[in-house]
Structure 1
Amino acid sequence: VLSKETDMSIRQVERWFRIRRNQHRTPVFKKYLDSSWRGVFYFVIFWYGLYLHLDKPWFYDTLYMWKGWPHHHVSEDIYWYYMVEGAFYISLLFSLFTDHKRKDFSQMVIHHVATLLLMMLSWISNFVRVGTLVLVIHDAVDSWMEFGKVAKYLGYDRVCEVFFYIFMLVWIITRMIIFPFRIIRSTLFEALGEDCLNDATVGWLTMYSVYNMLLCVLQVLHIIWFYYICLVAKDAFKGQVQKDSRSSLESESESDGEKSQGSTENNGRSKKEQAVSSVNGVIRTRAKPAS
């Protein structure tokens, strides 16, 4: 029908709708740039954070996160590490509203807000030793995810698969084993065993409870994302890995957008008339120079 009303071939009408649809997509080059700088930051900040903790006793024994609390001195290197990480997560939170829309948008907002609240509470209540370990654990996995996206955008599918396997392995070790069984276990049980919450510190009980709740919120998100990772891993064994866990959500979001856009364009006479008017406008615009 559109072909007859606009004097265009069916192929030209299809091409016009394809161009119009792609105008709402985020360019691959922009995704490549976003993933590149985030991947480099995560990689550098992880190894820097790991280096800072090599001489810290609580890195090897979590009991030292609570011995002597709340009278823990914050060294200058830990201070700047915390400030840089805090600024980075603030930028990530704002970028969620400016970057391309993701299907896991709500989970990412919850994750970044919970992380920033954890950093703020740990700074106020001097749980900095816990906070630094949480940051190192989280930064360990994110660089592999971003590098996998970069490989996908460049068309290196085999490299993307390698990064995905590394990403999945590191995720299991850090977020499914170390984080719940060392960090959360320590905050729930070792803190009480060290008699940190005594009569002198009873005023911090509410903040301590909120802190533990936020750590558990992060772990719930880890489990949800791990479910998506397992779905991608299932395809990986079939030789279909071209996406990492959360970039697959982005792709699904785009495809959902295309479907909804297509259904809107075909829904009702008024929508069709708008499309005809738009196509005719393009034809007239192109026809003017020729006349």
Structure 2
Amino acid sequence: MARQRRTSSVGNIPLGDNAGPALSTMQPAASSVRASAKRRRALSGVSGQPSSSRRLWLRYRELTYRNTWINPLLLMGFFYAWFYLSEDQSENHFLHKFLRLSYAVEGTGTGPENPTLYGKGPKDFAFVGFHILFFTFFREFCMQVILHPMAIYCGISKKSKISRFMEQAYSIVYYGLSGPFGLYIMYHTPIWFFNTTAFYEHYPHKTHEALFKLFYLLQASFWAQQSVVLMLQLEKPRKDFYELVFHHIVTVALIFLSYRFHFTWIGLAVYITMDISDVFLATSKTLNYLDSPITKPFFIVFAIVWIYMRHYLNIVFLWSILTEFRTVGDFELNWDTQQYKCWISQIITFGLVFALQLVNLYWLFLIFRIAWRLVFSEIAEDPRSEDDDDDDEDESSPAPESKKDQ
């Protein structure tokens, strides 16, 4: 009998920068599985009746093993209760720097025409660190409580495919919120709509309104959380693992350096180009997992958005750094006035944005390869064949080819 073939690979896009692994989608280690089995045997009385306190502890361990969002929620609840039940909730409180924005500028916040401005400092690391814990909770809760049942409801049965669906659906949730949020903030700044000249006007940008600073630090927390899980390699590395690691390193470096040296308006523009394109990328992947009839037309929409956001605008930024960076505003290094727009920062900024362009070009090549197959080779394969043979194969593997191409 002739071997059946899979459905079109369009939408099975091997780009991984929008969906790092989560605790809930990782393959459990053999030691973890054995420990869980031992706890279940103890609870069922197979290995003797433990004490009531021991049974309670085993139940808790097993519950949190299967619901990885519980421990982060308990920790956050403890810290929030400690802070908000205290009489003193000012910056003098130990937890203030973890839960609230620090460095409010005196004399601001007196009315709508004079909103509260915030400076920057070491306490911002505490805020980022705490919200790494928040994103750990939020990601795990969304996946296990909302997206896993949704995957089952949509008829996805393979474990590996459920994991990929949850990762991409979570990306839609996160980037679907952060992208419009970033655009809203940009709309209220002089850099709307990617006005590159305004990147450098009135530099250095040492203070920001609350929403701007909140957005920037939450993005830092999100990418830091993604990077920690990725670097620990708690799941099997994907085919584009090294490109993904490189992308995360460059992104985290851009976040830190742009914040520390006051190039946050450039950083905001880069954030938006990544977030908006990632919404379309994650949606295209998710539609493929659902075998949606609009997978192919949406893939075309995604490719157009990706090229505009990740390449056209990126090149606009690079050209701006080569030209306007030097000519708009002061161009000197002065540590006393925190004036860092100079020749060395120009090289570093250009290098980091260009590094993003390089990894995006690699992913663009993969997009073009899929588009070529869409136009010139209608690969219509049965999803019940090879998928069952490689259950652990991740969606970042190259798109399948027909026998004629092999």
Q: TM-score, normalised by structure 1?
A: 0.70
Q: Which residue of structure 1 lines up, in the alignment, with residue 367 of structure 2?
A: 229
CA contact (8 A) 2:287 2:294 kept: yes
Q: Deviations over 1:163-207 (max 9, x none)?
A: 3111101011111211112x1211221010124322644685434
Q: Deviations over 1:223-269 (max 9, x none)?
A: 11111110000011133499xxxx996233999xxxxxxxxxxxxxx
Call closer, same or farther: CA 1:171–1:141 in 2, change over 3 Å.
Answer: same
Structure 1: distance between partners of 2:303 and 2:265 = 26
Structure 1: distance between partners of 2:169 and 2:379 = 23
Q: Which residue of structure 2 lines up, in the alignment, with residue 69 of structure 1?
A: 203
Call closer, same or farther: CA 1:234–1:71 in 2, change over 3 Å.
Answer: closer
Q: Which residue of structure 2 lines up, in the alignment, with residue 36 of structure 1?
A: 169
More helix by share: 1
Q: Which residue of structure 2 lines up, in the alignment, with residue 59 of structure 1?
A: 192
Of 185, 196, 208, 2:319 maps to: 185
Give the aligned residue type for 1:41.
Answer: Y
Q: How does 1:241-280 map to 2 (within 5 A)?
A: 250-252=396-398
Give the aligned residue type for 1:184.
Answer: L
Structure 1: distance between partners of 2:205 and 2:163 = 46
Structure 2: distance between partners of 1:48 and 1:31 = 26
The secondary structure found in structure 2 opposite 1:198 is coil
Query: Does 2:305 correspond to 1:138?
Result: no
CA contact (8 A) 2:176 2:279 kept: yes
CA contact (8 A) 2:216 2:268 kept: yes
Of 233, 238, 241, 1:105 maps to: 241
Q: Which residue of structure 2 lines up, in the alignment, with residue 239 of structure 1?
A: 378
CA contact (8 A) 2:243 2:359 kept: yes
Q: Which residue of structure 2 lines up, in the alignment, with residue 164 of structure 1?
A: 299
Structure 2: distance between partners of 1:26 and 1:107 = 25
The secondary structure found in structure 1 opposite 2:313 is helix
Structure 1: distance between partners of 2:213 and 2:310 = 24
The secondary structure found in structure 2 opposite 1:155 is coil
Structure 2: distance between partners of 1:93 and 1:204 = 30
Root-mean-square deviation (CA, aligned residues, Å) is 2.9
Give the aligned residue type for 1:53.
Answer: M
The secondary structure found in structure 1 opposite 2:187 is coil
Give the aligned residue type for 2:355.
Answer: V
- Compute the displacement of 1:26 (Å): 6.2
The secondary structure found in structure 1 opposite 2:208 is coil
Q: How many residues align?
A: 228
Consecutive unaligned residues of structure 2, counting only runs of 5 or more, are 1-27, 30-157, 382-392, 402-406
Call closer, same or farther: CA 1:202–1:55 in 2, change over 3 Å.
Answer: closer
Structure 1: distance between partners of 2:245 and 2:346 = 23
Structure 2: distance between partners of 1:74 and 1:54 = 14
Q: Which moved more, 1:107-116 or 1:232-241?
A: 232-241
Give the aligned residue type for 1:46.
Answer: G
Structure 1: distance between partners of 2:212 and 2:190 = 14
Q: TM-score, normalised by structure 2?
A: 0.51
- Compute the displacement of 1:220 (Å): 0.9
Structure 1: distance between partners of 2:327 and 2:379 = 49
Structure 2: distance between partners of 1:93 and 1:254 = 29
CA contact (8 A) 2:171 2:279 kept: yes
Q: Which residue of structure 1 lines up, in the alignment, with residue 51 of structure 2?
A: none
